[in-house]
Homo-oligomer: A and B are copies of this chain.
Amino acid sequence: MAGSSFGKVFRITTWGESHGPAVGVVIDGCPAGFGLEEADIQVMLDRRKPGQGKYSTARAEEDRVRILSGVFEGKTTGTPISLMIENRDHRSADYSAIRDVYRPGHADYTYDEKYGIRDYRGGGRASGRETACRVAAGAVAEKLLKELGVTCKVRPVMIGGIPAEEEKTVRELLDAAVREGDSVGGTAECIISGVPAGLGEPVFDKADARLAAAVMSIGAVKGVEIGDGYAAAGSRGSENNDALRADEAGRISKLTNHSGGILGGITDGSDIIIRAAFKPTPSIAKTQESINSEHENVSLSITGRHDPVTVYRGMVVMEAMAALTILDMMLENMSAQAENVIRFYGNRK
């Protein structure tokens, strides 16, 4: 119940602090018998790796994933898949500067309030490092989704208020932010294609609700939209409703996709469209006002190298969370119709 698990059928549990010996994830409920090796996971982990883009953290993080269980002779066995990523050089740093200070925009104060204790080394459990485990698990989900004809793609939309495709302007903005010891926010979009109609559950577990929770559980995300999202709020029913049309062969298509592939919480077979708003990186060099654990006012400047924008790394996590959610709903949906259950057990032998 303490919230380190995600998913119902394809269920993951992550563990680990940024500066402990390792971080990891256990996947329970992964279907048996499909090919999986460490390289499948490493590819996606590398996409999240710092230093990928000029503006991602340059810390010497090298994430090597190990499969500790659940895979035998190159195939999943149906039993829990335990993945572990060791943290390098996790003992060396000196954290005395932030030990007693509550960094603004961070979880330092809230963890102390919740638990009465906090691993103050680099964010501990609240660190973005935890998301490496989500990406590792997401890679497993995407491998199986691919065999089911489903693909996930993510892209940055806006960086600090500038369209992400205007790369030169974005670069100037980020250079300026770094120079000023500041950071910027942004938005990203994830599109999932090939999703069958019928996924999601009618009421509280609507596909939109589950995707929103998945994406909003990423530390930096403060807003989520499905389909037209906020634009729909300014639209008219006659514009926002997607017309359904059938061709001569009876094949159905939607003339538009304002709904983002979900109607009444259930997928309609068109692309799922999710967008997220990422807040600016809270770790900035600029001097900030805050308090310490003695409740005294202090000034602080956060040193070290931090991404000036969380979108590039965060959107890989967003893709992983979307993939985990879609796969989970696909597995969950298999028992929705009695006819399919009867066919499954009838055909079984």
Contact = CB atoms under 8 A, between A and B. Distances in A.
A59 interface: no
B268 A237 contact: no
A304 interface: no
Interface string A119-159: 10000111000100000000000001001110000000010
A111 to B, nearest CB: 7
Quickly give the copy total for this chain: 4
Contact of A222 (B260, B279, B284, B336): B260
A40 to B, nearest CB: 14
Interface in A17-45: 17, 20-24, 26, 28-34
A171 B331 CA distance: 47
Contacts of A239: 280
A225 B3 contact: no
A83 B162 CA distance: 46
Contacts of A284: 237-238, 241
Nearest to A335: B331
B333 A114 contact: yes
Contacts of A252: 109, 291, 295
Given A106-B264, A338-B147, A232 B279 contact: yes
A277 interface: yes
B13 A2 contact: no
B5 A5 contact: yes
Given A204-B5, A213-B210, A217-B205, A337 B116 contact: yes
A50 B73 CA distance: 29
B203 A3 contact: yes
27 contacts: A2-B9, A2-B28, A3-B202, A5-B204, A13-B28, A26-B26, A31-B340, A34-B338, A72-B119, A72-B124, A75-B117, A105-B240, A110-B197, A113-B198, A125-B202, A148-B341, A158-B233, A185-B240, A196-B349, A203-B217, A205-B217, A208-B217, A225-B277, A228-B279, A237-B280, A250-B295, A330-B341
User: Which 7 A-B residue pairings sit nearest by Cβ, starting from the closest?
Assistant: A107-B264, A3-B201, A3-B205, A110-B266, A2-B29, A213-B213, A183-B237
